[in-house]
Amino acid sequence: MFLKFIIFTTFCSFTYSLPDLARLIRKNGYPAETHTATTEDGYIVTMHRIPHGKNSTVSGSPVLLTHGLGASSADYVNSGPGKGLGYVLADAGYDVWMGNARGNSYSMKHVSLDPKKDAQQFYNFSWHEIGYYDFPAQIDHILNKTSQESLYYIGHSQGGTAYFVLTSQRTEYNKKIKLASLLASSGIMQHENIMLEFISYFIEPLETLGNSLRIYSLPYPELLRFFLSEFCMVQEDICFFVYNMIVGYDDSAQFNMTMLPGIFKTTPSAFPLKSLYHYGQLIKSGEFKQYDFGSEENMIQYGSEKPPVYDFANITAPTAFYYGKNDMIIGTKDIDTMSSLIPNLAGKFMVKWDKWNHMDFLYAIDVVELLYNDLINLMKKY
Ligand SMILES: *[C@@H]1O[C@H](CO)[C@@H](O)[C@H](O)[C@H]1NC(C)=O
Ligand SMILES: *[C@@H]1O[C@H](CO)[C@@H](O)[C@H](O)[C@H]1NC(C)=O
Ligand SMILES: *[C@@H]1O[C@H](CO)[C@@H](O)[C@H](O)[C@H]1NC(C)=O
Ligand SMILES: *[C@@H]1O[C@H](CO)[C@@H](O)[C@H](O)[C@H]1NC(C)=O
Ligand SMILES: *[C@@H]1O[C@H](CO)[C@@H](O)[C@H](O)[C@H]1NC(C)=O
């Protein structure tokens, strides 16, 4: 029995270990590279690159793609050539760099900290540090390798939040961004779905509990990956229901269920919890501000009882917002507010599909026709 278990888990870890994305991309006939950059605070973050399209040999302008909370660069290649934004951009002539934020499954290294032994320190970050440290390291690495002065930026969900941090706090990076296209990005969170509002009341107790149990990140181990992939292969309906509960109910017209087991091989990625706690604070306060330690510690950290608010007025790079009507996580009115505060708004576009939800930006069946073509057309103007 025990031996069987060992054989089984060994099988799982071979079949369901985290896929090497560069290899997967090459298998689809595209060139691929893996790069790492070291941040000022010592995290070693990974990027996957598709330097050019299938039928080309030269690289065009670089574009950095960043992912949401609990996700990874796999978001942009999971749906394969012709659909995945990474492949679509490469075929449109761009040099595609897909980032991984610190603490996700592809970015688990640090120059001195061990994610297991030093978990409390290693996971002591939220999307603030991702925007403040990871993005500068990645952007500078890309600009150095390509000998360019600026690049395009595309962020999904948390990729938008951390972009606001970067461009409002390290304003010198605005000039390194030709155009930022933010897909379902969160910042000010006053009008999200009522369900999320409800959940936010449990986030603070969860933080206290997590810290007392010394749990700082939810891992995504092979066995779970195996279970979800196999389970969803035979129980599509249940998987689809759970998935919809989380991202916004779709009538399934835009969701290709056949893809779900494949998506589960990489997604969710490891899930660092402080980012979630920080989001909980945004929802409860309705303000887009730095991490709240409590008034006493705030005095030490920031010199004020309340954490500083991120200033949208500092974001001078051209920025475009794309959003969906049926997104549980992003409120339409919040997109209106944020876009009115950005000095150099490049556009605000609602995807023309009533049931468009948070994940449709990555996986919808008609995502190219409904979104990516317009997004690329706007990029060409900058
Ligand atoms: C690449 O070239 C082949 C042969 O000319 C063509 O069939 C295919 O559509 C091209 N693919 C892309 C993505 O441009
Ligand atoms: C976590 O980071 C804060 C600053 O953001 C620092 O004051 C604190 O000491 C750090 N805690 C640990 C355990 O590293
Ligand atoms: C890239 O970085 C290296 C090492 O720091 C430096 O020598 C080189 O000049 C840089 N290249 C560009 C194009 O900035
Ligand atoms: C952002 O803007 C505020 C005021 O609008 C300013 O005080 C602050 O210094 C700016 N931040 C940076 C990094 O320039
Ligand atoms: C659904 O996904 C499967 C597997 O990736 C693919 O073969 C099929 O063409 C997709 N169907 C549609 C309608 O996109």
Peptide bond into 268 cis (omega under 30): yes
Paired tokens of 227? 């279970």
Nearest to 51 by CA among 25, 72, 71, 75: 25
Q: Are 321 and 347 in contact (CB under 8 A)?
A: yes
Span from the CA of 201 to the centroid of ligand 4 (angstroms): 31
Q: What is the mean pLDDT of residues 346-368?
A: 94
Task: Specify if 7 maps to a domain.
Answer: no
Residue 4 clears pLDDT 70, i.e. is over it: no
Q: What CATH number should be reported for the domain holding residue 79?
A: 3.40.50.1820
Task: Specify if 255 maps to a domain.
Answer: yes
Question: For residue 109, which amino acid is it?
Answer: K
State whether the beta carbon of 121 lies less than 6 angstroms from ligand 2. yes
Closest ligand relative to 90 C-alpha: 1
Paired tokens of 254? 């835009």
Q: Whose CA is nearest to atom 1 of ligand 3?
A: 144
Task: Specify if 245 maps to a domain.
Answer: yes
Residue 252 clears pLDDT 70, i.e. is over it: no
- Of the candidates 59, 107, 126, 157, the residue annotated as catalytic is 157
Question: Does 157 qualify as catalytic in the annotation?
Answer: yes
Task: Specify if 5 maps to a domain.
Answer: no
Instruction: Report the phi/psi class of residue 82: left, alpha or beta, with left for phi > 0 and alpha for psi in -120 to 50.
Output: left
Number of independent structural domains in the chain: 1
Q: Whose CA is nearest to atom 4 of ligand 4?
A: 311
pLDDT in the model for residue 206: 92
Span from the CA of 114 to the centroid of ligand 4 (angstroms): 35
Task: Specify if 4 maps to a domain.
Answer: no
Closest ligand 4 atom to the C-alpha of 169? Answer: 13
Task: Specify if 334 maps to a domain.
Answer: yes
Range of the domain at 73: 15-380
Percent of the chain with pLDDT over 70: 93
Q: Which of 52, 54, 56 to mutate to test the pocket of ligand 1 (most atoms within 8 A of CB)?
A: 54
Q: Whose CA is nearest to atom 10 of ligand 1?
A: 55
Which H or E run contains 315? none
Task: Specify if 9 maps to a domain.
Answer: no
Question: Does 140 qualify as catalytic in the annotation?
Answer: no
pTM (2 d.p.): 0.92
- 218 or 301, which is more confident? 301
Q: What is the mean pLDDT of residues 344-365?
A: 94
Q: Are 74 and 21 in contact (CB under 8 A)?
A: yes
Task: Specify if 3 maps to a domain.
Answer: no
